[in-house]
Amino acid sequence: MSVELGHVTCPSRSTLSLVTKTRNPLFPSSEDEASGHRPMPATGPSLERGVADAFFRQIVTNMRNGVLAITRDGRLAVINDEAYRVFGITREASDIGQPAAAILKAHPEVFRALTGAFELHHLPNRAEMRLKPKNKVIGYTLALVRDDSGEVTGAAMFFKDLTRVERLEERERLRDRLAAVGEMAAVIAHEVKNPLAGIEVMAGVLRRKIPAAPDAQALLTDIINEAKMANAIVQEVLDFVRPIRLQVERTGIADAVHAAIHLADTKARRGAVNVDVQLAPGLPLIQGDQHQLMQLFTNLLINAYEAMDGKGRITVTGERTRLDDGGEGRDAVLVEVTDNGPGMPPDVSDKVFDPFFTTKAQGSGLGLAIVRKIVDAHDGRLDLRTAPDQGTTIRMTLPISTEEQLTD
């Protein structure tokens, strides 16, 4: 039996033995062990074939890429450890020989791709597929399995988990788009900021010239405040669209949180809100940007202050964890910011991290969008749990080492 892949033919004798349940002298079957029957040790050519079969099986099992094969009638013939991991399938001793559709029931698109190979004259090479339940991306190649006479007896899929690669590429594309938008916004902001500054200065001069007109004084004060607010919004837009260039250093989450509490108190009315910091002792330092992390926690605290209307409790917790990145995972720090405020309905929580979305009478709608951008810049994960009258929890998982450092 052989696997035909382009112009390369690879021997695959063990595939046939797996499908047909042929006894292998080096590996007694479960039926042999149950009955107490032990086949006689093979010698000569039989022993050589057994060694070759065992070696081939070990190669397939330990490959870093996934291998999956089915027979012509849709039974599972080969599946290696990487395939089990990527597809999230629990290994069973009876998997081989079972209907592949049942084994791959969570991923029908994979089974369709394999069975479709029997009808194709030109098999796809380096195609990609998104696995819907887990939102993983694989890059795969299909091949037909032929016997010694050239008859097609099965189909095989060789694939690699591209989830991390796809995530990095998407992040790079987003950075490019934001860079282009940032250049345009910088030009517009420059043209807007200058007139705003002129309005603010001239209103201040006029206010000083008519000190005896209280009505005019109040009106000019409103003009100055509105000009300052417009200028702040323009600055926030600039901060959002500019690509974040991290000044990476070994940073303590505790330092960033405590600095953010002091900064948030100067930017928003805290009232009687109590902030309780409960970070686990010995929390590891992460490779991050101290200033950006302080901005992240400041925005979260300001948002909570404004939502809680001067009363309630905010709890900040942190612990060590593992970040699932589509590969072996990475050491990370999980930080949760929880408040007992009014919470959010689903139609708000679905949009809360979108740029320019706000439920406030006055606000740019960029505070939480900037939070997401900073978390993404640190290769982290962001999650939200909230419901009306049940408070809000924002979870941030920040890797101890960034993706770029792991690939250097």
Q: Are residues 323 and 290 in the same domain?
A: yes
pLDDT for position 240: 72
Q: Report the number of secondary-structure helices (H) and strands (E) in the chain.
A: 13, 14
Residues 242-260 have pLDDT tens digits of: 667 788 999 999 999 999 9
Residues 282-308 have pLDDT tens digits of: 899 999 999 999 999 999 999 999 889
133 or 110: whose pLDDT is higher?
110
Residues 56-72 have pLDDT tens digits of: 778 887 788 899 999 99
Q: Which residue has the tokens 């979260």?
A: 300
Last residue of some domain: 136, 161, 186? 161
Last residue of some domain: 185, 210, 243? 243
Mean pLDDT of the chain: 81
Closest by Cα among 353, 355, 356, 407 to 379: 407
Average the pLDDT over 377-399 and give the result: 91
Report, in angstroms and rounded to the nearest whole number, the Rg of the chain calculated over CA atoms: 31
Last residue of some domain: 183, 211, 243? 243
3-state helix, strand, coil in the chain (%, to 5): 45, 25, 30
Q: Are residues 117 and 177 in the same domain?
A: no
Provide the CATH number for the domain around residue 203.
1.10.287
pLDDT for position 294: 95
**Residue 354, Cβ neighbours under 10 Å: how many?**
13
pLDDT at 41 over 60: no
Please tell me the distance from the alpha carbon of residue 204 to that of residue 216, in angstroms, as a whole number: 12
Provide the CATH number for the domain around residue 265.
3.30.565.10
Q: How many residues does the chain have?
A: 408
Q: Are residues 21 and 88 in the same domain?
A: yes
Average the pLDDT over 90-109 and give the result: 92
Structural domain count of the chain? 3
32 or 224: whose pLDDT is higher?
224
User: 174 and 202 in contact (C-beta within 8 Å)?
Assistant: no
Q: Which residue has the tokens 């101890």?
A: 400
Q: Are residues 224 and 333 in the same domain?
A: no
357 or 169: whose pLDDT is higher?
357
Q: Are residues 341 and 220 in the same domain?
A: no
pLDDT for position 46: 63
Q: Are residues 258 and 406 in the same domain?
A: yes
Q: Are residues 224 and 256 in the same domain?
A: no
Burial of 323 (0-12, 13-18, 19+ CB in 10 A): middle
Q: What is the domain range of residue 50?
A: 2-161
Please tell me the distance from the alpha carbon of residue 151 to that of residue 144, in angstroms, as a whole number: 10
Please tell me the distance from the alpha carbon of residue 382 to that of residue 313, in angstroms, as a whole number: 21
pLDDT for position 31: 44
Q: Are residues 68 and 152 in the same domain?
A: yes
Q: Are residues 174 and 65 in the same domain?
A: no
Q: Are residues 324 and 400 in the same domain?
A: yes
Q: How confident is the model at residue 80 (pLDDT cuts 50, 70, 90)?
A: very high
Average the pLDDT over 219-237 and give the result: 83
Q: Are residues 385 and 254 in the same domain?
A: yes
Provide the CATH number for the domain around residue 20.
3.30.450.20
Q: Are residues 32 and 63 in the same domain?
A: yes
Average the pLDDT over 5-21 and give the result: 39
> pTM of the predicted model, to two decimals?
0.52
- Interacting residues of 190 by C-beta distance below 8 A, sequence separation 6+: none
Of 49-63, 278-292, 327-341, where does mean pLDDT reach its minimum? 49-63
